[in-house]
Amino acid sequence: MIGYYAHHHGVGHVTRADAIARSMSEPMTVLSSRTRPPGHAAAEWLSLPFDVDESTGSVAQDSSAGGVLHWAPHDVDGLTERMAIIAQWVAREKPSAVVVDVSVEVSMFLRLMGVRVIVMAIPGERTDPIHGLAYRSATHIVAPWSREVYDPSWLLPYADKTTFSGSISRFAARERTSLPSDPTVVVLGAAGGTSLTRDLVDSWSAVDARFEFRALGVAGGDWIDDVWPVLCSAALVVTHAGQNAVADVAASGAPAIVVPQARPFDEQSATGRALADGSIAEVLDTWPSVARWHAAADRALDLGGARWSALRTDGAPTRAARAIEQSVLRRSRQ
């Protein structure tokens, strides 16, 4: 049995676990502080307490353990309880490996228990020694993107144990569909936070009669359970640079404007630079103003969606699953 620790910030880690679980040949148990989404492919779900004290609002004490870790504060009951639950689960189930997506602290805790750890790499500036702990101690690393598009220098020391799976989309196995509609600009919000507003989307609509505008996941906009048909029929997509959003747009092949949002370690900025360098999408530093909208949209439409294929979304969940399973087999035979 394979474990999969899915971080609770945003929905991307849990969504990626679902895509990979559907391609695994053995059952997966997800460990997460997020609630299990309906229909998730995990065989089991181990609910973990949050590792923050939300009741007091007090500032965590020595949260970096003297600069050794990212998040290890004193006197947070949830942190103590979640590590105890993980330890009990490992002792009881004896997983052949655990995928960690993502947490240096969970990676090191599992490794100290003698568990094989497969680390999901994350874009951005990961040159700090704390991230290095997780990468150096990992049995294997899965980089969920295309090496052709993004090949960061900080991963080079671990090249012999890294698999570049391609960008993992929950829609990778679905056929492209099209809805009969007027030409539509689809604007995607972010569960992890975004500065985008419905008023800004409405301002674009007011000056561009070429398109209908549909805001999804934006405050005041629509929410739909299955965004895939909408993406496939879009004339243009406007999105942040989160890994799952980028992978989903890439799978659809729609032209796009991509606006990286502020994230720790410049995660989305690194993705945006890679997309810009590859002439894959129109990448902007900020959401376009009304004055800049037409120029940005025209550049995105001129680029089109053909270069999205460089992200290798087709088959990416399967490649990640095989890398996880094969790394366990290789190590167990040594």
Give residue-wise pLDDT tens across range 92-122: 999 999 999 999 999 999 999 999 999 999 9
Give the Cα separation of 283 and 300 in Å (integer): 9
Residue 180 has a pLDDT of 59
Q: What are phi and psi of 212, to 5 degrees?
A: -85, 145
Report which DSSP code applies to 260.
Answer: P
Helices assigned H by DSSP within 234-315: 243-252, 267-277, 290-303
Q: Which of helix, strand or coil describes residue 136? A: helix
Write down the pTM of the prediction. 0.95
Spatial contact of 249 and 283, defined as CB atoms under 8 Å apart? no
Q: What are phi and psi of 166, to 5 degrees?
A: 90, 165
State yes or no: pLDDT of 58 exceeds 60. Answer: no
**Summary mean pLDDT of the chain:** 94
Give residue-wise pLDDT tens across range 183-222: 999 999 976 667 799 999 999 999 999 999 999 988 877 8
Amino acid in position 272: G
Spatial contact of 287 and 196, defined as CB atoms under 8 Å apart? yes
